Structure 1
């Protein structure tokens, strides 16, 4: 339940707000619905990571790799798949750590 809420709400809000909106969304939802620390981290990691992977893959295929190829040349990466995996990892870590922090704050307060 937490994973789906994080995925849907963060994905929708990213179209209107800055990218970092995923952190407060993960934090707030995990503070509200998180049951355990690791499960909150996992829900945040997978929710944001999968959302970013889907969006970056959509952009890659929609633009026929033009943007992705320019970015991999800029960073000196060997192929676009690695860029998509790095994007997923960064988004997942932001979401997972934010969700874990939200869970820990709720435990600290209550």
Structure 2
């Protein structure tokens, strides 16, 4: 149950903070949730990754469908050398997930100190 709560809190806090602050605030959100909810480091890493991965993937999908994948297809041609909005959404989610995982792991280990 803690895992689901951590994932949801990380995603919600990351979304709320990213409205007002730069993109890297998601790391602070994952850190705070992992620090506040006691978990093993591996579970914190997993919840930080999944929370931010789901958040960024859903936001990227939402933005992409708002303009019929026009911008996402052009950016994916530049970055991935293929016209695939879905792949760009996946890559964006993975990048955010890695940031969230590292921050959540740091928060979990800081709690042990």
User: Normalization by structure 2: what TM-score?
Assistant: 0.90
- Structure 1 residues 32 and 60: CA distance shift in structure 2, 3 A: same
For residues 71-93 of structure 1, give each alpha carbon's deviation from its aligned partner in whole angstroms, at most 9, with x where no partner exists: 11221432121111111110111
Aligned length: 108
The corresponding residue for 2:112 is 107
Consecutive unaligned residues in structure 2, runs of 5 or more: none
- Structure 1 residues 55 and 38: CA distance shift in structure 2, 3 A: same
Q: Is contact 1:77–1:83 with CA below 8 Å preserved after alignment?
A: no
Report the Cα distance in structure 2 between the residues aligned to 1:57 and 1:77, rounded to whole angstroms. 19
- Structure 1 residues 66 and 24: CA distance shift in structure 2, 3 A: same
1:54 matched to 2:58? The reply is yes
C-alpha displacement at 1:34, in angstroms? 3.1
1:15-26 to 2 correspondence within 5 Å?
15-26=19-30
1:78-89 to 2 correspondence within 5 Å?
78=82, 79-89=84-94
Matched residue SS, 2:21: coil
Matched residue SS, 2:19: coil
Report the Cα distance in structure 2 between the residues aligned to 1:50 and 1:77, rounded to whole angstroms. 24
Moved over 2 A (4+): none
- CA RMSD of the aligned region, Å? 1.1
User: Normalization by structure 1: what TM-score?
Assistant: 0.92
Report the Cα distance in structure 2 between the residues aligned to 1:76 and 1:30, rounded to whole angstroms. 33
1:3 matched to 2:13? The reply is no
Report the Cα distance in structure 2 between the residues aligned to 1:34 and 1:42, rounded to whole angstroms. 13
The corresponding residue for 1:64 is 68
